[in-house]
A and B are shown apart, each in its own frame.
Chain A
Amino acid sequence: MEKHIPVTMTVNGERISRDVAVRQNLVDFLRYELGLTGSHVGCEHGVCGACTLKVDGSTVRGCLMLAAQADGAEIWTIEGLSQNGELEHLHEAFERHMALQCGFCTPGMLLTANELIERGKAKNREEVREYLSGNYCRCTGYQAIVDAVMDAAKAAGKR
């Protein structure tokens, strides 16, 4: 059996071709091979949300996908979505509401919050809490995060 597999994927708008170790998961690949360390690794079993990525238009746990499975996929990380301005409303709101302290959960939180707003599921605080309940924060106590997301949703005209 091969230990490496050639894959081609689009990461933050850029086409990438690499021979990936078959056992390496997607978030480790992005961090170690591409230097995209903005996505973080917390629990490695899918529950904490720190590794959340956008793959083919939807949020995905980067620790539960193998890099080899991303062949042909379109991937966006916190770096790409920050640079292309997609997270502008959320960045501004998070800063204003002090919705981060150590920042470890923040990239995953932003990606999930962005999807929540885009999909029209930020109508009230209950909905926001429910959608974000798969992203753990050990610092803020969540209130400021919910405040920020509600504000960003309003600014985006989605509430």
Chain B
Amino acid sequence: MAEALALLNGDDSGDVAALAGGQSLMPMLNLRLATPDALVDLNGIEGLAGLEDEGEHIRIGALTRHVDIETSKIAAKHLPLFVRAVGEIAHAAIRHRGTLGGSLALADPAAEFPACCVACGAVIVTQSLTGERRIAAEDFFHGIFHTELEHGELITAVEIPKHGGRAEHWGFDEIARRKGDYATAGLVVFGTGKRALDDPRIVLFGVGEKPLRVNAAEAVIAGCRLPVSDEVIAEAQEAMGGLELIEDLHSSTATKAHLAKVLLGRVLKTLS
């Protein structure tokens, strides 16, 4: 780790990139969209992979492969939202190499894990030459491929609140043209409470520059009884306006706005 940080912070480190899973960086290199002079391969660093139960939360090392989250018994029991989301990431061969840390550090607006982290209040732990930082997920993502990470700072782990019990409620859905494609639109709902949805978070992905929380819709469903009634769902869908959406190759902002409403309806219906 010390060696990696030294290399990433050296005098000529301006054109040095960190290589983890490589499933996003390598395509960029192959397509000449990124042309670093050197890569620092993080894969040999010990202690950066794995899932650990730390009581209130699960700590997932940054170098943990997507497939290891997919097949983890700890994740199955305590992080069902992430297990649900990981299956949407590309295909098996990609999931065998891609990492959680890489996904968060890249901050692709269409990625699943950033939105999941914002929805459940995860904490992203980083390391730099000046020490460790603990950054709330909701403060981490600033824009397209733009995060709170400083030059030469690495994510080391993510602390995710356990949510496999009766007092946590989560929902996830995504619309993509084909299985494994980047999301055209996706939505995560997360809340706590026994029979009501307290302190809910509604987070969209694939429709804006970063994961978007929909505060107005959250206010509508806050404290509502479960299962969510049709009236409340309709009211929440009405509150999905005023979002900073961006269009892409396949969809206009109007389409994104429509899909966001559709997804909210679908996901709220799954909560019980």
Q: Do A and B come from one complex?
A: yes
Using CB atoms and an 8 Å cutoff, list the residues of chain A in contact with chain B.
1, 22, 25, 44-46, 49, 52, 55, 58-61, 63-66, 68-69, 112, 115, 130-131, 133-134
Q: Point out which of B30, B179, B180 has the most chain A C-beta atoms below 10 A from its C-beta.
A: B30
In Å, the complex CA distance between A81 and B27 comes to: 27
Contacts of B96 in A (CB 8 A): 55, 58-60
Choose among B30, B37, B41 the residue that contacts A25 (Cβ–Cβ < 8 A).
B30
Nearest neighbor of A55 in chain B, beta-carbon distance: B96
- Interface size on B, as a range, is 20 to 34
Contacts of B41 in A (CB 8 A): 66, 68-69
What's the dominant secondary structure at chain A's contact region?
Answer: mixed
With A61-B94, A134-B94: A1-B38 Cβ-Cβ less than 8 Å: yes
Contacts of B94 in A (CB 8 A): 46, 61, 64, 134
B178 on interface, CB distance cutoff 8 Å: yes
B93 on interface, CB distance cutoff 8 Å: yes
Contact B93 A65 (CB under 8 A): no
* Further pairs besides A65-B97, A66-B41: 9, Cβ < 8 Å: A25-B26, A46-B93, A49-B91, A58-B67, A59-B92, A59-B96, A63-B30, A130-B179, A133-B91
Choose among A22, A55, A65, A134 the residue that contacts B91 (Cβ–Cβ < 8 A).
A134
In Å, the complex CA distance between A66 and B37 comes to: 15
Contacts of B27 in A (CB 8 A): 44-46, 64
Contacts of B19 in A (CB 8 A): 66, 69
Minimum Cβ distance to chain A for residue B271 (Å): 26
Choose among B31, B179, B180 the residue that contacts A45 (Cβ–Cβ < 8 A).
B31
Contact A65 B92 (CB under 8 A): no
In Å, the complex CA distance between A130 and B178 comes to: 10
Contact B31 A115 (CB under 8 A): no
In Å, the complex CA distance between A25 and B39 comes to: 13
Taken residue by residue from 142 to 184, chain B's Cβ proximity to chain A (1 for < 8 Å, 0 otherwise) reads as 0000000000000000000000000000000000001110000
Q: Point out which of A45, A64, A115, A134 has the most chain B C-beta atoms below 10 A from its C-beta.
A: A64
With A45-B30, A46-B23: A59-B93 Cβ-Cβ less than 8 Å: yes
